[in-house]
Amino acid sequence: VRGADPDRGFRGSHPRHGLDPVIHSPVRLSIVACLAAADKAEFAFVRDTVEVSDSVLSKQVSTLEEAGYVKVNKGYVGKRPRTWLSLSPAGRRALEAHLAALQVIASTAETRGPAGLGAATQSAMAGGHDA
């Protein structure tokens, strides 16, 4: 599985060509978005945030790990095993490119006039990029 190259720009004129096929999946987008706002997150936290089962999250994380977007670290806190997930630099670049494409697509509706569509767009683009 290979993700889109976030540095290559759009392949065609439509902004959908800028969407990353790996994180286009809603579950994987939620995972990557969650990890983008965090230094690291424990497996259970991501599972609860994305609202999926352990097995679904494990499968999706494997896909993201194969694409080079997510790093997985296993360890212990006391005697309890923990799995930590974090976003790789490639994953962060891919998310930024994907969000930019989503914003362009969403903005086509804003220019047509429905109220409120811009709020989520602006907020998502602002999140998880500072500090």
Partner 1 sequence: VTDEPTTLGPEGADAALGEVERAQAAVRTGSRWTARYLGACGIASLIFVTLTGLFPGRGGTVTAFWVGVVGAAVYYARRQWVSWQGFRRLNDLAFAAWGLLWTGTAVLGFALFPGRPIFWVPAAFVVAAPLFTAAWRSARR
Residues near partner 1 (CB under 8 A) are: 1, 16, 19-22, 24-26, 29-31, 33-34, 36-42, 44-45, 49-50, 63, 77, 99, 102-103, 105-110, 112, 117, 120-121, 123-125, 127-128, 130-131
Q: Which long-range contacts (CB under 8 A, 24 or more apart) does 99-105 make?
A: 99/124, 99/125, 100/18, 100/125, 101/10, 101/15, 101/16, 101/17, 101/18, 101/19, 102/19, 104/15, 104/18, 105/15, 105/16
Cβ at position 63, least distance to partner 1 in Å: 5
Cβ at position 90, least distance to partner 1 in Å: 15
Cβ at position 119, least distance to partner 1 in Å: 8
Contact 72, 58 (CB under 8 A): no
Compare residues 9 and 26 and give the one whose CB is closer to partner 1: 26
